[in-house]
Amino acid sequence: MLKVDCLIIGGGMVGAATALSLADLGLKVALVEANAPQSYLPEQGLDLRVSAISLASEQLLQQLNAWQQVKDWRSCVYKRLGVWEDDIAYAEFNADEIQQSHLGHIVENRLIQLSLWQQLEQKNNVTLLCPEQLDTFSQSSDKVFAQLTNTQVEANFIIGADGANSKVRQIAGIGITGWDYQQSAMLINVKTELAQQDITWQKFVPGGPLAYLPMPGNNGSLVWYQDKAEIRRLSELTNEQLQTEVGKNFPKRLGKVEVIAKGAFPLTRRHANNYVKRRVVLLGDSAHTINPLAGQGVNLGFKDVAALQAVIAKAIGSGENYHDETVLKRYERNRRTDNLLMMTGMDAIYSTFANPSTPIKLLRNIGIFAAHRAPLLKKKALAYACGIR
C-alpha cells in the first residue's frame, strides 16, 4: 500500500498545481490521472481548449516554476479588453489603467498542464499515478483509504480536483446546487486576415455573446454562445460552411477568417454545498463551475490552490495538525464567498444581456457607455478580474 500525506484525484491544471504547491511545503503527495498530457512540438496545431490566464494565476505559475516554460512554448499576451452591444456604447479596459504591462495571456490548457507535470516529475516527494483512476475511498478518524484501479493508497486527506462530475465529491456525499443555462458554447480556432493580438473582445447579440481570444500569430479562438439546437446545427457544418456563418455573424474586426478546428460544450453552473467534509477537500471545477462569460473558470481554481497552500503552510508553521477538518475549513471560508460572488456576478451579466426588452437594452448600453467613462470603476473592476489588489 502506498502511504502519502495527500492524495489528489485529477491531474489537470488545478490538480497538478495543487500537487506542486503542497509538495513545495514538504508534503508527500500522490497525484492520480487517467491520461498524461501530450508532449509539445512547435509544429502542433493550436488546441481548442484555451484559458485566459489572469495576472494572479500567472504569479502562481511563476511561484511553481511552470510559467517560463509555457511562455517559451507559446502563448499570447493581451493588454486590452473590449465589450460592447451597439457600436455607440463601447467600453475598453486597458492594463495601463491599473499600472500593469498586460491583463493576461491566452494559453492552451494542455501546455499549462504539461509544464506543471514537468515540474512534478522533478519532485522526489510526488508520486504520479498515471494511467490510474479512483474506484472508491473510505475515511477513518485520521486517515483516508483509497482503492484505485491498480493501487491502494493511505493518506491523511484526499483532494478532489477531478472536474465538474467529481467522483470524489459524489463518494463523499457532498451535494451541489446549480442549473443548466439552456445554451452551449462553440469554440472555433481560426486564422485571421488582420492581426489583432493585444486585445480580447466580447460583443453581446440577441442569441448570446460572441467573443474573440487572441492566439499566437494571426490566429484566434472564437467563442460563440447560442441555444443548444443552433450550436448542434453549427457543429454539423463543414469548416468551409462554418466559415461563412462566422462571416455573417461575427464583427468584421478580423477581416476574412479561415476555420481550422471546432468543438462545443454545454453551459452549466454547479456549486458544491461544502468544499471540505471531514478529510475531503474540493478545488476547481469539482467545487464550482461558472458561466465562462469572463473566462474566470481556471483562474478561480488557481485561487483555490493558492488559498489552500496558504492555509496549510500557516498550520504547519504554527504546529497545528494541517489535515484536521477545522484547519481545512479555513480554506473553504476563504474561497467560498469569493467564488459565489464571481458566479453570481457572471449570472447577473448573462441574464441582463439575454433580456430582449428594449428599455433593458437601452439601460445596458447606457451602463457600458458610462463604464467606459468611469476611471475609478474601471480600475476596481479590472483589478478584481485580474486577481490583484
Sign of CA dihedral 88, 91, 97, 102: negative
Cβ contacts of residue 262 below 8 Å, gap of 6+? 48, 186, 187, 188, 189, 234, 235, 239, 242
Cα–Cα nearest to 307, from 338, 280, 274: 338
On whether the CB atoms of residues 193 and 220 are closer than 8 A, the answer is no
Place of cell 500525506: 5
Mean pLDDT score, 146-173: 97
Q: Which of 323-327, 336-340, 358-362, 382-386 has the lowest mean pLDDT?
A: 358-362
pLDDT recorded at residue 205: 85
Nearest 5 degrees, angle CA 181-CA 371-CA 225?
Answer: 25
Q: Is the pLDDT of residue 261 over 60?
A: yes
Q: Is the pLDDT of residue 171 over 80?
A: yes
Cβ contacts of residue 378 below 8 Å, gap of 6+? 91, 93, 97, 371, 372
Could you give all domains of the chain from N- to C-terminal order, each with its CATH number?
2-38+48-74+107-178+269-352 (3.50.50.60)
Cα–Cα nearest to 72, from 114, 132, 37, 35: 114
Mean pLDDT of the chain: 89
Per residue in 32-84, pLDDT (tens digit) is 999 999 999 999 999 999 999 999 999 999 999 999 999 999 999 999 998 88
Cα 256 from chain centre:
29
How sure is the predictor about 373, in pLDDT bands with cuts at 50, 70 and 90? low
Mean pLDDT score, 254-261: 93
Place of cell 491520461: 35
Q: Is the pLDDT of residue 215 over 50?
A: yes
Cα–Cα nearest to 203, from 27, 382, 368, 6: 368
pLDDT recorded at residue 361: 45
pLDDT recorded at residue 190: 96
pLDDT recorded at residue 360: 46
Cβ contacts of residue 21 below 8 Å, gap of 6+? 60, 63, 64, 305, 306, 308, 309
Distance of alpha carbon 27 from alpha carbon 370, whole angstroms: 50
Q: Is the pLDDT of residue 179 over 80?
A: no
Distance of alpha carbon 13 from alpha carbon 74, whole angstroms: 16
pLDDT recorded at residue 9: 98
Place of cell 513545495: 24
